[in-house]
Structure 1
Amino acid sequence: MWLVAPEAFVRIRVLVGMFTVILFAAVCSVLCIKDRKKIEAFRRFVTAPDEQSEIEMRSLCGASEQEYVSVLSEELHDLRDSVMQSGRQLRDYQEYVENWAHEIKTPISLLTFVVDNRRDELPHNVVMKMDNVTSQMQNYVDQMLYYARLKSDSKDYLMESIDVEECVDEVIADYRSLLEEKGIRVRKCLENGEVYSDRRGLQFILGQLVSNSMKYTNEQPEISFDFWTAGDKKLLSVSDNGIGVKSCDMPYIFEKGVTGDSGENRKHATGMGLYLVSEMAHDLGITVTANSKWQNGFEIVLEFPDVETKI
């Protein structure tokens, strides 16, 4: 044809080229669609490896790939069963811990009741030590309960307007015996302090901060509570004049289990107090910042969200 009719051959060559391009594009499109369907089927199969998704996956695979689908199906079923069993065990463990924490409150309350009724009969130093022990036990139980509460899927926070001074006084009352035993002076500057938050959550935060300050006291110990406003911000500061935190430890004080390198005072620390404070504050929308200089006190500042309440 090229010898007889060169012009016709050129036109046919163009048509053949166009047909080849169209055929190649069509084949690529079909393969892409098939691959996309296979990927979607694989995603459904991995997400929910039931019988229907497995049949769909097999129909899109070749004979050599179906064996891999069978092996993957077995592994996914075993993994799903293992995850479900672990979930049940975790729920059972959480229920046990919460029930134990509630049950242990009864003997703690009984111990407190007995000590209160026998204060005049027991030596003063014994009474103070018993108060110290019961307060520590109650603090650890509260940590456990609030840790379980923070990790729970459901939260029962009650957001309301809170008088800061009243809330601080309730926390101080819980730690009064320990504060008196350690000779810690409490200073408050909380005039016109009102925030919008969950009362129990805020009391837990303040309680952990007071407990933390009492552990690392210095000479003439003092804990200060200050409230002020800066524009739309409402700020509450809890500070002490204790040993403080080294600058190398400051970036990590809110991490779980971190106790820092502050000598003998931190040997028995759990590293959970400030971690729970940061987690609870995050749930309540409170911004937490820390300031400290080694051997020159420690301060936590709580910044409350600006909320407009309507009746």
Structure 2
Amino acid sequence: MKHFIKYFRKYALWLGLLLGTDVISALFLWLADVRAFRILATAIVLGSVLLFLVILWILGRAERRKEQAFLEFLENGDSFAEQAVLRQVSAQEGEMIRSIASVLKENQAREKELLGRIKDYEEYTEAWAHEIKTPISLLTFLMDNHREEIPERVSRKLDYVRNQMQEHVNQMLYYARLKSVGKDYLFEQLSLRECCEEVLEDYHPLLQERGFQVEKDVGEIFVLSDRRGLDFLVSQFISNSIKYCRAAGTPKIWIKARKEEEGIFFRIEDNGIGVRDCEVPFLFEKGFTGDTGMMRKKATGMGLYLAKEIADDLKITLHIRTEWQKGFEITMRFAIV
């Protein structure tokens, strides 16, 4: 019906001219023979309308075929689609189609070249990130085996540098992973308690240096998720709690997990500096760092952005609750499978 109305509006002028001709013919018929006018005038008008509708239906079919061929040509842009649309159009329109085809082929060649460059860059980035893990692992090995020979203050500084390097490398890997066409997520049943303990063990030197008190209430609760993705999320949130702790008082982190009818809730809370209310809607935006001190000025604004992207891929809902200078809380909700 939509197509009919569209074509009717397009050719309505011709219907008007046809009916106008009928009126003139009827006028001459009336002047010639009044009796014949009454019979033939109605037949002439109805015949003209019927003829117009038939012609409209034929032209409408031709227009639809032309539109379909043109849409396929725009979508594919190959020689077969080009020839198909050329058979449906006039010679003048054919010249325009050939010009469009030439531009499309040039754009497709550029797109193919650009995609190739992007793929090469992604492969190089991932290869570099994996290669840099080797010296980081070697640094960890040397520090663990020669910790007694290294002054405690230097050891803590090295732990901090190592964790920062590892965190940035992981962010780079996950950014490349998110932008790639194929994402190698492996969903399996994971223990939230084991995941939490592994991350806390990685950050133990920093937590100890800052004097953190960590309270855990995580039972044997399992979720269906990707191990690397879940580790990255928990690591990011623990790292933020360490970075943005308050200078005064004893810094604390509370980690809790509970299972309810709505899903499985895994919460990480701290008593750090928190976030201003006006900044909360922008926390997951790429590059957003806020304006709450020197630490945020040094931040890249990529951590929570990547966390949100990964959480969306893993079907994890994130919810933030915070109060300025009181603390920050983030809750991950997993679906019950």
TM-score between both structures, scaled by the size of structure 1: 0.93
Once residues 3 and 253 of structure 1 are traced to their aligned partners in structure 2, the CA distance between those partners, rounded to angstroms, is 84
Which stretches in structure 1 are left out of the alignment for 5+ residues? none
Q: 1:8 to 1:162 in 2, by over 3 A?
A: same
Instruction: Say which one has the larger Rg.
Output: 2
Q: Which stretch of the first structure deviates more once superposed, 169-178 or 149-158?
A: 149-158
Q: 1:2 to 1:146 in 2, by over 3 A?
A: closer
Asked whether the equivalents of residues 272 and 327 of structure 2 are also in contact (C-alpha less than 8 Å), the reply is yes
Which residue number in structure 1 is paired with residue 127 of structure 2? 99
Which residue number in structure 2 is paired with residue 187 of structure 1? 215
Identical counterparts, % of pairs: 44
Amino acid paired to 2:41: R
Q: Which stretch of the first structure deviates more once superposed, 211-220 or 3-12?
A: 3-12
Once residues 164 and 87 of structure 1 are traced to their aligned partners in structure 2, the CA distance between those partners, rounded to angstroms, is 39
The 3-state SS of whatever aligns with 2:130 is helix
Which stretches in structure 2 are left out of the alignment for 5+ residues? 1-28
Q: 1:25 to 1:155 in 2, by over 3 A?
A: same
For residue 85 of structure 1, the aligned residue among 103, 108, 113 is: 113
Which residue number in structure 2 is paired with residue 199 of structure 1? 227
Q: Which stretch of the first structure deviates more once superposed, 208-217 or 173-182?
A: 173-182
Say whether 1:43 aligns with 2:75: no
For residue 266 of structure 2, the aligned residue among 212, 236, 242 is: 236
The 3-state SS of whatever aligns with 1:249 is helix
Which residue number in structure 2 is paired with residue 293 of structure 1? 323
Amino acid paired to 1:249: E
For residue 269 of structure 1, the aligned residue among 293, 299, 316 is: 299
Q: Which stretch of the first structure deviates more once superposed, 272-281 or 240-249?
A: 272-281
For residue 332 of structure 2, the aligned residue among 281, 302, 311 is: 302
Q: CA deviation at 1:208?
A: 0.6
Asked whether the equivalents of residues 267 and 330 of structure 2 are also in contact (C-alpha less than 8 Å), the reply is yes
Q: CA deviation at 1:62?
A: 2.2
Which residue number in structure 1 is paired with residue 155 of structure 2? 127
Q: Which 4+ residue blocks in structure 1 deviate beyond 6 angstroms? A: none
Which residue number in structure 2 is paired with residue 166 of structure 1? 194
Once residues 64 and 224 of structure 2 are traced to their aligned partners in structure 1, the CA distance between those partners, rounded to angstroms, is 51
Which residue number in structure 2 is paired with residue 250 of structure 1? 280
Q: How many residues align?
A: 307
Mapping of 1:2-21 within 5 angstroms? Answer: 2=30, 5-21=33-49
Asked whether the equivalents of residues 273 and 325 of structure 2 are also in contact (C-alpha less than 8 Å), the reply is yes
Once residues 60 and 264 of structure 1 are traced to their aligned partners in structure 2, the CA distance between those partners, rounded to angstroms, is 66
Q: CA deviation at 1:73?
A: 1.1
Q: CA deviation at 1:232?
A: 4.1
The 3-state SS of whatever aligns with 1:248 is helix
The CA deviation string for residues 69-124 of structure 1, in whole angstroms up to 9 with x for no partner, is 12211111111111111111111111111101111111111122222232222221
Asked whether the equivalents of residues 147 and 155 of structure 2 are also in contact (C-alpha less than 8 Å), the reply is yes
Amino acid paired to 1:196: L
Which residue number in structure 2 is paired with residue 212 of structure 1? 240
Say whether 1:148 aligns with 2:176: yes
Q: CA deviation at 1:255?
A: 1.3
Once residues 191 and 233 of structure 2 are traced to their aligned partners in structure 1, the CA distance between those partners, rounded to angstroms, is 15
Amino acid paired to 1:161: Q
The CA deviation string for residues 140-176 of structure 1, in whole angstroms up to 9 with x for no partner, is 1111112222223323333333222221000111111
The CA deviation string for residues 237-274 of structure 1, in whole angstroms up to 9 with x for no partner, is 10111100000000111111111121222011111111
Once residues 286 and 47 of structure 1 are traced to their aligned partners in structure 2, the CA distance between those partners, rounded to angstroms, is 35
Once residues 288 and 4 of structure 1 are traced to their aligned partners in structure 2, the CA distance between those partners, rounded to angstroms, is 86
